[in-house]
Amino acid sequence: MTPPRLGIGIIGAGRVGAVLGAALHAEGHGITGAYAVSDASRARAEDLLPGVPLLDVPSLVERSEMLLLAVPDDELGALAAGIVATGMVPGGQLIVHTSGRAGTEVVAPLAKAGCATLAIHPAMTFTGTRADLPRLIGCPMGVTAAPELLPIAAALVVELGGDPVVLAEGDRPLYHAALAHGANHLVVLVDQAREALARLGIEDPGAYLRPLMEAALDESLRHGAAALTGPVMRGDAGTVATHLEALDDLDATGIPGEAADAGETYRALARATLRRARLPEDTRARLEAQLQTPTDREDETP
């Protein structure tokens, strides 16, 4: 049996850290331990990293050749500074973080302490279960590192099954915004559509939407705005008006405490659709007026 090539400590056994740790372990690396705070993270570590000890951060730093930092973006800088403050960082230690927003500047204190720092961000949504492991195959992963370290980052991505894509430090905020806007806001949009269908008594709104949503997603990924259809693209102001009336009624009669923003979202996305439509100016003006919010109308009042 080939001995493990790297001893890897995982700081943050959340949905991303535990899955990537399991994938690296499957490639022959040893997992020295994991840092997990919540009960959910501890259970996830037990499932995906069986037998791996749960340790504090100083212990992981001391015993690991590589640290995988899979913590929320806003915690990453403080974590890096805190690790350096322990005074235990050995020279040459490999530090990999998974933030999409940040490159390597956020962990600059570790680089100054002699560590090799890499930013590797898989462009996928993680469930924190074993179902994520096959999804890593072919997954694009944004990589930022010093030029001499890019081959190491690429090798780790390939071991994870992914496809490395080099990103400049300054490009990462827009890169991450694009992914978050496309994925997270899609979930909100689908949730609103599900809620509307459920209100009509459709028992499985997700299954009802699936053929339509999958076709629309596939076409938009292939063709962008050329895949747009529907009443705004046709200039069908009457249909848009009935949609707004129905969605505003949905929001007004919703369950207290739950989101009531379908009409607001429809207006915002319909305005963005209108900017991509080639319509006569009078039709465009009529639609623009219909899509105004009450606040917009108040602002225009003399």
State pLDDT tens for residues 135-176. Answer: 999 999 999 999 999 999 999 999 999 999 999 999 999 999
pLDDT in tens, the chain (302 residues): 454 589 999 999 999 999 999 999 999 999 999 999 999 999 999 999 999 999 999 999 999 999 999 999 999 999 999 999 888 777 789 999 999 999 999 999 999 999 999 999 999 999 999 999 999 999 999 999 999 999 999 999 999 999 999 999 999 999 999 999 999 999 999 999 999 999 999 999 999 999 999 999 999 999 999 999 999 999 999 999 999 999 999 999 877 667 789 999 999 999 999 999 999 999 999 999 999 876 665 555 55
SS3 state of residue 163 = strand
How many distinct helices (H) and strands (E) make up the chain?
Answer: 14, 7
Domain boundaries, the chain: 7-167, 175-297
220-232: per-residue pLDDT in tens? 999 999 999 999 9
Closest Cα partner for 148 from 123, 178, 118, 120?
A: 118
Nearest Cα residue to 140 out of 92, 103, 105, 175:
175
CB 128 within 8 A of CB 15: yes
3-state secondary structure at position 56? coil
Q: Among 3.40.50.20, 3.30.70.1140, 3.40.50.720, 1.10.1040.10, name the CATH number for the domain at 7-167.
A: 3.40.50.720
Give the separation between CA 170 and CA 300, rounded to whole angstroms. 39
State the number of CA atoms in the 13 A half-sphere of 197 facing the CB. Answer: 15
pTM value surpassing 0.75: yes
d(CA 66, CA 63): 9
What's the whole-number average pLDDT of the chain? 93
d(CA 104, CA 99): 10
